[in-house]
Structure 1
Amino acid sequence: MFSNRAQLLKRTPENGTDRETFLSLLVDEYLNSTLHDAKCQVLANLANFAYDPINYEYIRNVGVLDIFLYVVKNENNHQLLHFAVAGICNSCCDPLNADYIITHAGLKPLVALLKLENINILADTITSLLYLNNNQIRTELSTAEVVQRISDIQKSNDKRLVNLATIFLQDVCCTSDQEQL
């Protein structure tokens, strides 16, 4: 459920931790943890916080987007990648977050995830790319390699992937000539 500031204040105990501080503590926990399971749990929690628009500013302020981008750029573990791309997907519908992801070199590593076989990662990646799509990056999203990979995904047995791939090809790769048909 989406929150507003009044609801957050009402639910925060008098001596409790505010949302931004709590997210900052989660970031610290992720950065200082050496245990894989702990990193996964914290990253999953951060991705869940990215679902609520009330958290978008906090997410930018405390470095959550940086963690998501770091994982997408540097990790090979599918569990960590799944949580990071889910966090990106949850947060990139916000224009400021989308701009942050694009200007911090997030597009290329997201496109690279299209080569994976993990259905959840693929679904969140395609959805993220749809949210990030704009006139500035459309040419990067409609390269022959990306179109081929999305076309391959469109042949999946997973209906969700088929639908997302179809939407991607229609919305991102459609030229003005095709639009007139």
Structure 2
Amino acid sequence: MFSSRAHLQKRTPKDGTDREAYLSLLVDEYLHSSSYEAKLQVLANLANFAYDPVNYSYIRDVGVLDIFLYVLKNETIGRLIRYAIAGVCNLCLDPLNADYILTHLGLKPLFRLLKSSDTDTVADTITTLIYMYNEKTKTEITDQDVINMMSNLKTTQDLRIVNLATVFLQNVCKTT
């Protein structure tokens, strides 16, 4: 559910932890934990915070976006990648976040995720590419290799992926 800063302040107890401080604690826990399960839980929580635009500036300020991008660049574990791309997908609607993502990650690592066996990862990746499509990204996003991958995705068994790939090809690439 989307919140306003005033609503969050009203709901936070006088001696409670504010949103930015809580996100900062989660970032510290992720960075200092050696447990895969703990990292997975924290990353899932951080991705959930990315749903609400009121958190965008906090997320940038405390380094959550950097964690998502690090995971997408460096991790090979599917579940970590799933949560990282979910967070990026939620955050990329904001122009500041989209610019940050392009500057620090680029689009190429996202194209690699289109080949994932995890349908949630593929769905969030296609959605991210649709959201990030603009004049700056047009050439790279509508590259023939990407179009071929989307065309292949239209033949999968997962209707959600088929529909997203179709939307991408029809609305972004203007092909059928």
Taking structure 2 as the reference length, the TM-score comes to 0.96
Matched, 1:74 2:74: yes
**Whole-angstrom CA distance in 2 between matches of 1:55 and 1:66:** 15
Q: Could you tell me which residue of structure 1 aligns to residue 106 of structure 2?
A: 106
Q: What do the CA deviations read for 1:2-35 (whole angstroms, capped 9, x no partner)?
A: 1111111111111111111111111111000110
- Residue pair 1:72, 1:84 contacting (<8 A) in 2 also: yes
1:115 is paired with a residue of what secondary structure?
A: coil
For 1:6, the aligned partner's letter is A
- Residue pair 1:20, 1:58 contacting (<8 A) in 2 also: yes
Q: Could you tell me which residue of structure 1 aligns to residue 145 of structure 2?
A: 145
**Whole-angstrom CA distance in 2 between matches of 1:11 and 1:76:** 39
Matched, 1:36 2:36: yes
Deviation at 1:106, TM superposition (A): 3.3
Matched, 1:166 2:166: yes
For 1:148, the aligned partner's letter is N
Taking structure 1 as the reference length, the TM-score comes to 0.94
**Whole-angstrom CA distance in 2 between matches of 1:71 and 1:106:** 14
Q: Could you tell me which residue of structure 1 aligns to residue 12 of structure 2?
A: 12
- Residue pair 1:69, 1:106 contacting (<8 A) in 2 also: no
Q: Could you tell me which residue of structure 2 aligns to residue 128 of structure 1?
A: 128
Structure 1 gaps of 5+ residues are: none
**Whole-angstrom CA distance in 2 between matches of 1:82 and 1:105:** 16
2:114 is paired with a residue of what secondary structure?
A: helix
**Whole-angstrom CA distance in 2 between matches of 1:137 and 1:9:** 38
Deviation at 1:105, TM superposition (A): 2.3
User: Alignment RMSD, CA only?
Assistant: 1.2
Runs of 4+ in 1 over 6 A off after TM superposition: none
Q: Could you tell me which residue of structure 2 aligns to residue 55 of structure 1?
A: 55
**Whole-angstrom CA distance in 2 between matches of 1:26 and 1:140:** 34
For 1:13, the aligned partner's letter is P
Structure 2 gaps of 5+ residues are: none
**Whole-angstrom CA distance in 1 between matches of 2:131 and 2:62:** 22
- Residue pair 1:2, 1:54 contacting (<8 A) in 2 also: yes
1:106 is paired with a residue of what secondary structure?
A: coil
Give the count of matched residue pairs.
176
Q: What do the CA deviations read for 1:135-162 (whole angstroms, capped 9, x no partner)?
A: 1111111112111111111111111111
**Whole-angstrom CA distance in 2 between matches of 1:130 and 1:99:** 15
